[in-house]
């Protein structure tokens, strides 16, 4: 009746179906293992365009309903499913199985540095608390204009990169400084500070720089570039952090 | 069990919920309950823009926008609501800019605007630049900006709490509450996903902003979490759902995956081509071609495929061609969607056209409200203290087909109205005592489901539902295909009673959550199909091959779908306004159709040509 796609994605992609094994880190305090985390292996059949998230869904839907992870949009814009895949922080919905060498078991773990609640789900509250602390909102003084504030295309471009952040925590939880010191604001909070510090409409840069000048602020960054590599949105995070550092020294933004 | 008391409780933290929260939280004690972290909401996936007749780049006015919205919705739009939306669009955009939203700019530094499907100059003369945008992540920027301002205002959130019941002073599900009787909404019952604990929220005013139900279909642009929760809860508690047969299929989903590629791709000059390389939209919509409204473009694409002019090895998609655009222009205006094509299909849009096919995208129907976002319990009685806004609601500004960008507009205009109206009401109202057993039904439901013996898998029932909906209730429908879908749904409803969950735990039990969501999906699919069977005409997003013409004589009415006990009368609405003669019996209940008249102000229905 309807012109549906009987056998769709496989023809579009180039890789035919294949078997893939996932080695997943499990943690469920209610289970027989209690506070101990364990590894489970699952083998599922995947197709050319399948992502790690598809494989996790196959496991959950066909093998073990108790496997727990967050996900929503499934195409890399909501930021729910950041996890450690073969030792690198990625979004499960944006990582194609064929791109992470499916010939060997693919290791899937929760992101590091945040308390694990169950399996791949971590407590995001400490992450969002740091975000809230840097005053992630436009701060203006004077009267509200009756129409829009004027901003040139160049001024708008100045902070474009850091507006892409989806708060998935892939960057912060890839940062060795954050692993050893959970008090560190972390890359994501700094990225969101950058987004406002360099917005020509904003008058709150001094306050934000004051906050980030803290001993747990930008100076903890050791420019290891883990965050830039981890960002699923391709934000040049380390560069943004450097720009915030420079702004702090020169008081120019 | 924990209990809470707030003046206003908002269910859902997408664009509509957070826009409402920004209005209400400054006035009265407000809580937002969301099954996701707010920034995960699907508003963030919207891409192309938000229309408002700012006239920043060319002549435009709100009346043209109103007309386009009415015509786009194939005249089933309530014209008073469309006029309000088009007028308030201008302030809605300026509000967002003042909140910090980084819109793209004109050379003069003002908000830039671009073309979008169905938005025209002077009643259809040519495409007009009306969509205000931030690259192709406008929804992302709206969601972030609203959340940022909620942080600024210190709005209280209950994240990863799942609302499972709505408490009202009267039981509406029996269909015996008298006309004019004052009914109040008094609270909601929620399940804390992290701990498994039940929370009861008592409130003077409740706003439903839970979003859509795209997961009733297999191929969809919607998130996994868009399972029609708010709509289904309302239906189960005796509220009608309006115009559920009208579901929008977005023309350009990535073929086979359904991932959305914004209409902005065509707004920026992209062209749809068939296997012969022909720009086929010239045949279907000679004036505005690829920028015709979505229902027309989606049907045209499906028709090309059906007539053998599809592309690829199975000839089952068409191509979105951006190769004539400058790479720098693509990078500046369409960075995200071109990245989707690269990531998910391995296609380089600079040099190769992108395989696309329609994808289930947006529910035009939902919980009926008036222009103040107050929820109706039939064609005309308002329920005190209950509001709805965004995709969950039907105002109706979208009629039978929503124009692109009008959903981001809807959530901002009617989200704001809902927040304002709810707060004003809460200031004058007092709390109504909740029954002692308010949470019992929810607790019993959860326990029963958790403790069932091994049965059908949730995923199997859900997959079969989505497959029958894709096969039988998609772009092209017939009485036969819809009845097939209905009979499949009946069988799946029976199997749903025996689905079991493997995870028996209390903590973060997403297995249980998916089972609950499946129940909502089945209920929504059911009324969608029943309403579609009844509507023996073609209008907007609802196309019946067995009734290919619009029939204003018999169907210029909103459909109101009610769920009633078998013993209830077949007239759902005491006043029987333009009553639809259609009832479907199910096990333990029936679905009864009523209607509601369409508000017409300026525009007489005309033939819809583009």
* Residue extents of the structural domains in chain A: 16-122, 125-139+155-252
* One domain, residues B378 and B481: no
3-class SS letters over A48-86: CCCEHHHHHHHHHHHHCCCCCCCCCCCCCCCCCCEEEEC
User: What is the share, in percent, of chain A residues with pLDDT greater than 70?
Assistant: 93
Q: Which pLDDT score is estimated for B334?
A: 94
Which residues 464-523 on chain B approach chain A with CB closer than 8 angstroms?
Answer: 470-472, 474-478, 480-481, 501-503, 505-511
- Residue B536 CA: distances (Å) to CA of B78, B281, B547: 21, 27, 6
What is the Cα–Cα distance from B607 to B336, expressed in whole angstroms?
Answer: 37
Q: Which residue, among B210, B524, B208, has the nearest Cα to B383 in the 3D structure?
A: B208
Which residues 230-259 on chain B approach chain A with CB closer than 8 angstroms?
Answer: 255-257, 259
Which of A6, A69, A124 minimises the CB distance to B314? A6
Give contacts of A149 with chain B, Cβ < 8 Å.
97-98
Across chain A, mean pLDDT equals 93
* One domain, residues B393 and B343: no
Q: Is residue B474 part of a domain?
A: yes
A11–B313 CB contact, under 8 Å:
yes
* One domain, residues B122 and B202: yes
Domain end: B361, B382, B401, which one?
B361
Q: Is B563 on the interface with A (CB under 8 A)?
A: no
Between helices B79-99 and B138-152, what is the axis angle to 10°?
A: 70
B502–A163 CB contact, under 8 Å:
no
What is the rounded average pLDDT of the residues A102-125?
97
- Please tell me the total number of residues recorded for chain B in this structure: 610
- Residue B503 CA: distances (Å) to CA of A30, A60, B449, B515: 11, 10, 11, 11
- Please tell me the total number of residues recorded for chain A in this structure: 253
* One domain, residues B518 and B575: yes
Give contacts of A10 with chain B, Cβ < 8 Å.
256
Q: Which two tokens stand for residue B303?
A: 């028709």
Q: Which pLDDT score is estimated for A142?
A: 87
Q: Which pLDDT score is estimated for B572?
A: 54
What is the Cα–Cα distance from A46 to B460, expressed in whole angstroms?
Answer: 18
**pLDDT range class, residue A170, cuts 50, 70, 90:** very high
* One domain, residues B223 and B256: no
What is the Cα–Cα distance from B563 to B481, expressed in whole angstroms?
Answer: 23
**pLDDT range class, residue A2, cuts 50, 70, 90:** very low
Q: Is residue B387 part of a domain?
A: yes
Q: Is residue B610 part of a domain?
A: no
Q: Which two tokens stand for residue A123?
A: 């407590």
B470–A4 CB contact, under 8 Å:
yes
B109–A152 CB contact, under 8 Å:
yes
* One domain, residues B461 and B515: yes
- Which segments of chain B have a pLDDT < 50? 574-576, 578
Q: Which pLDDT score is estimated for A252?
A: 67
B294 is catalytic: yes
Q: Which pLDDT score is estimated for B265?
A: 95
B44–A78 CB contact, under 8 Å:
yes
* One domain, residues B472 and B392: no
Burial A60-87 (b: 16+ CB within 10 A, else e): bbeebbbbbbbbbbbbbbbbbbbbbbbe
- This model of the complex carries an ipTM of 0.95
Q: Which pLDDT score is estimated for B580?
A: 73
What is the rounded average pLDDT of the residues A181-209?
96
Gap from A66 CA to chain B (nearest CA, Å): 5
* One domain, residues B371 and B263: no
Checking if the pLDDT of A11 tops 70, the result is: no
For residue B43, the chain A residue with the least C-alpha distance is A78
- The one catalytic residue among B129, B137, B273, B294: B294
Cα B221 to its chain centre, rounded Å, is 12
- Binding residue per annotation — B43? yes
Give contacts of A6 with chain B, Cβ < 8 Å.
314, 316
For residue A147, the chain B residue with the least C-alpha distance is B94
Q: Which CATH superfamily is domain A16-122 in?
A: Beta-grasp domain (3.10.20.30)
Q: Which pLDDT score is estimated for B571?
A: 66
What is the CATH classification number for the domain harbouring B79? 3.50.50.60
* One domain, residues B355 and B373: no
Cβ B289 vs Cβ B153: under 8 Å: no
Q: Is residue B604 part of a domain?
A: no
Give contacts of A159 with chain B, Cβ < 8 Å.
102
For residue B39, the chain A residue with the least C-alpha distance is A78
Q: Is A199 on the interface with B (CB under 8 A)?
A: yes
Q: Who's near B400: CB < 8 A, 6+ residues apart?
A: B73, B74, B76, B243, B246, B295, B364, B539, B540, B541, B542
Tell me the pTM.
0.96
Cβ A66 vs Cβ A28: under 8 Å: yes
- Binding residue per annotation — B89? no
CA terminus-to-terminus distance, chain A: 60
**pLDDT range class, residue A7, cuts 50, 70, 90:** very low
Q: Which pLDDT score is estimated for B22?
A: 98
What is the Cα–Cα distance from A92 to A74, expressed in whole angstroms?
Answer: 8
* One domain, residues B120 and B183: yes
What is the Cα–Cα distance from B345 to B355, expressed in whole angstroms?
Answer: 9
Give contacts of B110 with chain A, Cβ < 8 Å.
147-148, 150
What is the Cα–Cα distance from B359 to B348, expressed in whole angstroms?
Answer: 21
3-class DSSP state of A17: coil
Gap from B468 CA to chain A (nearest CA, Å): 11
What is the CATH classification number for the domain harbouring B478? 1.20.58.100
- Binding residue per annotation — B35? yes
Which of B110, B458, B508 minimises the CB distance to A118? B508
User: Residue B380 CB: number of other CB atoms within 10 A?
Assistant: 16
Q: Who's near B200: CB < 8 A, 6+ residues apart?
A: B1, B2, B3, B4, B187, B188, B189, B190, B434, B438, B439
What is the Cα–Cα distance from B32 to B3, expressed in whole angstroms?
Answer: 15
Which of B97, B151, B508 minimises the CB distance to A132? B151
Instruction: Looking at the structure, give the CATH architecture of the domain made up of residues A125-139+155-252.
Output: Orthogonal Bundle (1.10)
* One domain, residues B387 and B466: no
Q: Is B312 on the interface with A (CB under 8 A)?
A: yes
Across chain B, mean pLDDT equals 96
B317–A79 CB contact, under 8 Å:
no
B256–A5 CB contact, under 8 Å:
yes
Domain end: B376, B401, B428, which one?
B428
State the residue range of the domain holding B331: 247-361
**Adjacency order of strands within the sheet including B247-254:** B247-254, B354-363, B318-321, B271-273
A66–B507 CB contact, under 8 Å:
no
* One domain, residues B147 and B165: yes
Domain tally, chain B: 3
């Amino acid at each position: 009746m309807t012109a549906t796609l009987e056998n769709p994605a496989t023809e579009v992609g180039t890789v035919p179906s294949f078997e893939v094994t996932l080695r997943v880190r499990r943690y469920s305090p209610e289970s027989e293992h209690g506070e101990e985390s364990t590894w489970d292996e699952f083998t599922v059949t995947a197709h050319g365009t399948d992502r790690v998230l598809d494989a996790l869904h196959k496991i959950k839907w066909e093998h073990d309903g108790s496997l727990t992870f967050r996900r929503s949009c499934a195409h890399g814009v909501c930021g729910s499913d950041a996890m450690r895949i073969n030792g690198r922080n990625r979004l499960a919905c944006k990582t194609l199985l064929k791109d992470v060498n499916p010939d060997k078991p693919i290791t899937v773990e929760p992101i590091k540095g945040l308390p694990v609640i169950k399996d791949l789900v971590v407590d995001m509250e400490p992450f969002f608390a740091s975000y809230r602390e840097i005053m992630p909102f436009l701060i203006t003084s004077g009267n509200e204009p009756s129409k829009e504030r004027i901003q040139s295309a160049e001024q708008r471009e100045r902070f474009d990169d850091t507006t892409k952040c989806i708060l998935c925590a892939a960057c912060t939880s890839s940062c060795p400084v954050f692993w050893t010191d959970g008090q560190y604001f972390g890359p994501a909070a700094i990225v969101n500070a950058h987004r406002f510090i360099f917005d020509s409409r904003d008058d709150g840069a001094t306050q934000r720089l004051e906050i980030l000048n803290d001993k747990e602020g930008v100076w903890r960054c050791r420019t290891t570039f883990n965050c830039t590599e981890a960002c699923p949105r391709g934000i040049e995070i380390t560069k943004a952090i450097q720009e915030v550092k420079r702004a702090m020294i020169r008081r120019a933004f | 069990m924990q209990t809470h008391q707030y003046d206003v409780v908002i269910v859902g933290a997408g664009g509509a919920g957070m826009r409402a929260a920004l209005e209400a939280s400054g006035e009265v004690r407000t809580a937002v309950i969301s099954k996701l972290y707010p920034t995960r909401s699907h508003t963030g996936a919207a891409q192309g823009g938000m229309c408002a007749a700012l006239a920043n780049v060319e002549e435009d006015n709100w009346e043209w926008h109103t007309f386009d919205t009415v015509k786009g919705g194939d005249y089933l739009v309530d014209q008073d609501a469309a006029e309000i939306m088009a007028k308030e669009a201008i302030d809605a955009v300026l509000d967002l800019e003042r909140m910090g939203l980084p819109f793209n700019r004109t050379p003069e530094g003002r908000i830039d605007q671009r073309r979008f499907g169905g938005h025209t100059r002077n009643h259809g003369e040519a495409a007009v630049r009306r969509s205000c945008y931030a690259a192709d992540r406008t929804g992302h920027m709206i969601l972030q900006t609203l959340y940022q301002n909620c942080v600024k205002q210190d709005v209280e959130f209950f994240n990863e709490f799942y609302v499972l019941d709505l408490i009202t002073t009267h039981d509406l599900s029996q269909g015996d509450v008298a006309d004019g009787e004052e009914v109040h909404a008094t609270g909601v019952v929620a399940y804390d996903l992290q701990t498994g604990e039940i929370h009861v929220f008592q409130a003077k005013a409740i706003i439903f902003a839970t979003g859509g139900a795209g997961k009733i279909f297999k191929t969809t642009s919607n998130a996994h979490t868009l399972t029609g929760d708010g709509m289904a809860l309302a239906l189960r508690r005796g509220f009608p759902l309006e115009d559920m047969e009208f579901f929008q299929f977005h023309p350009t989903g990535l073929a086979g995956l359904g991932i959305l590629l914004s209409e902005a791709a065509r707004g920026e000059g992209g062209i749809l081509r068939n296997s012969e390389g022909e720009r086929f939209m010239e045949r279907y919509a000679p004036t505005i071609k690829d920028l015709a409204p979505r229902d027309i473009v989606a049907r045209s694409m499906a028709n090309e495929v059906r007539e053998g002019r599809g592309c690829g090895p199975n000839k089952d998609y068409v191509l979105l061609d951006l190769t004539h655009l400058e790479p720098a222009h693509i990078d500046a205006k369409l960075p995200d969607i071109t990245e989707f094509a690269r990531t998910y299909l391995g296609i380089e849009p600079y040099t190769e056209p992108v395989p696309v096919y329609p994808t289930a995208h947006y529910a035009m129907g939902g919980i009926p409200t008036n222009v103040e976002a107050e929820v109706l319990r039939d064609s005309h009685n308002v329920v005190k203290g209950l509001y709805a806004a965004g995709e969950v609601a039907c105002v109706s500004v979208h009629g039978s087909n929503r124009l692109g960008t009008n959903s981001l507009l809807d959530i901002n205009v009617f989200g704001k109205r809902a927040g304002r109206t709810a707060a004003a009401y809460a200031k004058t109202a007092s709390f109504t005592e909740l029954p002692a057993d308010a949470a019992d039904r929810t607790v019993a439901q959860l326990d029963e489901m958790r403790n069932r013996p091994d049965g059908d898998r949730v995923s199997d029932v859900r997959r079969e539902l989505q497959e029958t909906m894709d096969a039988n209730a998609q772009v092209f429908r017939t009485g036969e295909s819809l009845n097939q879908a209905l009979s499949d749904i009946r069988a799946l409803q029976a199997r749903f009673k025996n689905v079991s969950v493997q995870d028996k735990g209390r903590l973060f039990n997403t297995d249980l959550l998916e089972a609950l969501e499946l129940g909502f999906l089945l209920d929504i699919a059911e009324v969608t199909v029943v309403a579609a069977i009844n509507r023996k005409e073609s209008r907007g997003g609802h196309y019946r091959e067995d009734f290919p013409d619009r029939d204003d004589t018999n169907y210029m009415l909103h459909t109101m779908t009610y769920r009633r006990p078998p013993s209830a009368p077949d007239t759902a609405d005491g006043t029987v306004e333009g009553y639809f003669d259609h009832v479907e019996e199910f096990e333990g209940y029936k679905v009864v159709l009523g209607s509601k008249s369409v508000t017409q102000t300026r525009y007489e229905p005309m033939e819809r040509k583009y």
